[in-house]
Amino acid sequence: MTRPRVVIAGAGFAGLTCARALKHAPLDVLLIDRNNYHLFTPLLYQVASALLDPGEVARPVRELVRPLGNVEFRQAEVLGVDMQRRILSTDRGPVPYDYLVLATGSQSDFFGNASLAQHAFGLKELGEGLALRNRVLARVEATQWVAEAERRRMMLTFAIVGGGPTGVEMAGALSELIRHVLKKDYPKLDLSEVRVILVEAAGWLLSTFDPVLREAAKRSLEKKDVEVMLNAKVAQVTEDSISLASGEVISAGTIVWTAGVRASGLGAVLGAKLGRQARVLVDDTLQLPGHPVVFVIGDLAGAVVAGQPLPMLIPVAMQEGRRVAATIKDMAANGGASAFVYKDPGTMATIGRNSAVAQLGRVRLSGFPGWVMWLTVHLVNVVSFRSRILVLINWAWDYLFYDRPIRLIVRADPDHSD
C-alpha cells in the first residue's frame, strides 16, 4: 500500500513547522519552495544593515528536512492548483497530492501605487535585503565625491515608510549603522547631513503594542537620532523624493517600504474567497471551504478567531502548521479535522543594539531589559547551532566595537541560465 502524500507549498515558518510536525507519521511529505533556503525573516533587517551575511540568516531547506526522514524537498515556483484532479502545478511540472498545505506567505503591498513599486525597496526577501544593503553603502560612499551639500543631504536621507516592527527595527539599525559604524569609515562624513526618517500614517508606532511600549519605542528611536514622523501618509515617491498627502515633499535618496503587506498571489489564482490583505478565508479547521484535503496556513491564510483575523506573525504561522499536521495525521487515520486555537506568546521589536520593546502576557519590557529578552529569544531560534555561533560573534562585535563586518557592496554576476 502506498502512503498518502502530503504536499506543502512554501518552506517558511508555517510550511517548515508543518513538515517537521509530520515527522514519524506514516505519510510521504513533499515540501516545495521557490528558494532553496528557509529565511529567518526576523533578522533580515540585519542583512540590510550590514550586520549579517545570508549564510547566517538562511539555511538550506534540504539541511533542515534531512533529519525528518519522510520529508523530501523540491525547488519550484507554485503556479496553481487543480483541486478536481488533486494536482499542484509548478514551473517544473505537475505534482499530485493527497493532502495539500498552502503556505506561500506574503509580499510587499504597494496598494497599486506604481511610483512606490518602482522606487521603494521592499524588505521581505533575502534579495531585497542585500539590495538595500548595497544601496545604503553605495549612497554613503558616493557622497564622498559630491561637493554640493544639497545633493549630499538628499543622498544621505533614508526614509523608512511604515511604523510596524520591521520599520522600527530597520530605522534603528540604519541610524546606528551610519552614525556609529560608518562614521568611523568616513571621517569626513558630516552627520548633520544624515537623516533617517520613519514615516507612519497613524498617530503612533507599533499599533499592536501597548501604548506605553509604543511611546518607549518612539523615545528610543529618537535617542538614536531617528526622526519619527507620525500622521504622515505617503502620496507619491520619485527616485529622490517622497511626497506626503499633506503636500510636504522630503528630499530622500533611499526609500524603504514596510507599510503594506499582503498575501502571496496564490490565493487569487485559486479562485478562493479572499479577506483583508488578500488572505485566503479558511474554515476554523484551516481547511479551504469545500475542499477538505486543502489547507491554508501562515500569512496566506486569513484565519479568523473571535471575529478578528489573526495577525501575520511567526507564532501564528507555526501554531497553524502544527495544527494542520495533527489534522492530516488524524484524517489519514480516518479521523476528522479539529478547530485551530491560537495562543498568543507575545510580541517584540528591537530598536538598535541595546533597546527593545516586548509584550508577553501581562509583562511589558522596554529599553535594555527588553533587548536582553529579544536577544535570547532570537538567538535560541536562529535555526542552526553553527549560525548561532556566527550570529553571536557578529552581534558581539557590533555591541563591543560598533563594527559591522559586512559592509561590502557585492552583487552576484548573472549565472548565464537556470
As annotated, the active-site residues are 169
Q: Which of 25, 27, 58, 280 binds a copy of itself (CB under 8 A)?
A: 58
Question: Does 405 participate in binding a copy of itself (rule CB under 8 A)?
Answer: yes
The piece of 68-76, 288-296, 344-352, 356-364 that touches a copy of itself (CB under 8 A) is 68-76
**Toward a copy of itself, which CB reaches closer, 225 or 240?**
240
Cell output for 143: 557622497
How far from the centroid of its chain's Cα atoms is residue 50's Cα? 17
Strand 356-360: give its sheet, edge to edge.
347-350, 356-360, 363-365
Question: Does 74 participate in binding a copy of itself (rule CB under 8 A)?
Answer: yes
**Toward a copy of itself, which CB reaches closer, 126 or 286?**
126
Contact 25, 115 (CB under 8 A): no
Q: Which of 85, 343, 362, 411 binds a copy of itself (CB under 8 A)?
A: 411
Rounded to whole angstroms, how far apart are CA atoms 258 and 170? Answer: 9
Q: Which of 20, 53, 294, 370 binds a copy of itself (CB under 8 A)?
A: 53
Least distance to a copy of itself from the beta carbon of 346, Å? 30
Question: Does 142 participate in binding a copy of itself (rule CB under 8 A)?
Answer: yes
Rounded to whole angstroms, how far apart are CA atoms 129 and 406? Answer: 12
> Residue 337: which of 272, 302, 291 has the closest Cα?
291
Contact 383, 232 (CB under 8 A): no
Residues 104-123 that bind a copy of itself (CB under 8 A): 119, 121
Strand partners, 99: 6
Question: Does 409 participate in binding a copy of itself (rule CB under 8 A)?
Answer: yes
The H-or-E segment that residue 379 falls in is: helix 367-381
The piece of 35-43, 206-214, 282-290, 322-330 that touches a copy of itself (CB under 8 A) is 35-43
Contact string (CB under 8 A) for a copy of itself, positions 226-265, x = contact: -------------x--------------------------
Inter-CA distances, 201 with 162, 223, 311, 323, 349, Å = 7, 21, 19, 36, 19
Question: Does 127 participate in binding a copy of itself (rule CB under 8 A)?
Answer: yes
Contact 317, 103 (CB under 8 A): yes
Q: Where are the beta strands (DSSP E) in 222-341?
A: 226-229, 234-238, 241-244, 249-251, 254-257, 261-263, 287-288, 291-296, 304-305, 308-309
Contact string (CB under 8 A) for a copy of itself, positions 377-396, x = contact: ---------xx-xx--xx--
The piece of 14-22, 259-267, 277-285, 401-409 that touches a copy of itself (CB under 8 A) is 401-409
Least distance to a copy of itself from the beta carbon of 226, Å? 22
Least distance to a copy of itself from the beta carbon of 410, Å? 5
For the chain, how long is the longest CA-to-CA vector?
75
Q: How many residues bind a copy of itself (CB under 8 A)?
A: 62
The H-or-E segment that residue 370 falls in is: helix 367-381
The piece of 137-145, 164-172, 276-284, 343-351 that touches a copy of itself (CB under 8 A) is 137-145
Question: Does 37 participate in binding a copy of itself (rule CB under 8 A)?
Answer: yes
Cell output for 194: 544624515
Contact 177, 158 (CB under 8 A): no
Q: Which of 186, 342, 395, 402 binds a copy of itself (CB under 8 A)?
A: 186
Q: Which of 87, 131, 235, 375 binds a copy of itself (CB under 8 A)?
A: 131
> Residue 103: which of 174, 49, 29 has the closest Cα?
29
The residue ranges that bind a copy of itself (CB under 8 A) are 35-37, 53-56, 58, 60, 62-63, 66, 74-76, 92-93, 119, 121, 125-128, 130-135, 137-139, 141-142, 144-145, 184-186, 239, 386-387, 389-390, 393-394, 397, 403, 405-418
